[in-house]
Amino acid sequence: MKEEERAAIVLRAKAELRKRLRALRQTTPAAALAKRSERIVENLRAHEAVARASSVALFFPIEARHEVDLRALDADLRARGARVAYPSVDAEGAMHFRFATLAELDPDPLGFHGAPQTAPAADALDVIVVPALALDETGRRLGYGMGFFDRALPRFAAAKKIGVAYDFQLLVEVPVNEHDVTMDVVVTDARTLIPKRE
């Protein structure tokens, strides 16, 4: 199979998975997702990389998309003196991470609350927590298809990349292309997985 054919098949598979997983998340009661988010936060707190990190990037949940809510983790990190960064997309469509409080985050046309462009940029981070529509046990991740995280994460080679999702979003295999960034750790409400690297 030619590379172009394989890429086209992967794109179609991703589109179908996004549709199904969005629908599944939308039909799950908000109260149930809130409980799952609490367990994800507990699992993140217990992870060694998060527990010892002095700088962590989180994301603000897009409530309309029923994303994992990490706001309780933000409070924990700040209480012990860690710096917390949030994504920020500039006018050229590039994602950066900037140190900001929850109160400083601004809603944008993409639907998420991002750090203001005036907030201090993070040139290094210990941990980056990444949202996902799906993950698999090897750390492969399916996002929304915009590529923001996949373009931004390679600039933070030393950071531990932790993909988070509800356990029903954990798949046997996630289709990926060569530009997709693999997670170092997978955290759901039911488990924490450290992918094995070949």
Q: What would the pLDDT profile of 157-166 be if each residue is shown by its tens digit? A: 999 999 999 9
Q: What would the pLDDT profile of 117-139 be if each residue is shown by its tens digit? A: 999 999 999 999 999 999 999 99
- pLDDT at residue 4 above 80? no
Half-sphere exposure of residue 130: CA atoms within 13 angstroms, side-chain side: 33
pLDDT band at 82 (very low <50, low <70, confident <90, very high): very high
Q: What is this structure's pTM?
A: 0.92
- pLDDT at residue 177 above 90? no
- pLDDT at residue 89 above 80? yes
- pLDDT at residue 197 above 80? no
pLDDT band at 111 (very low <50, low <70, confident <90, very high): low
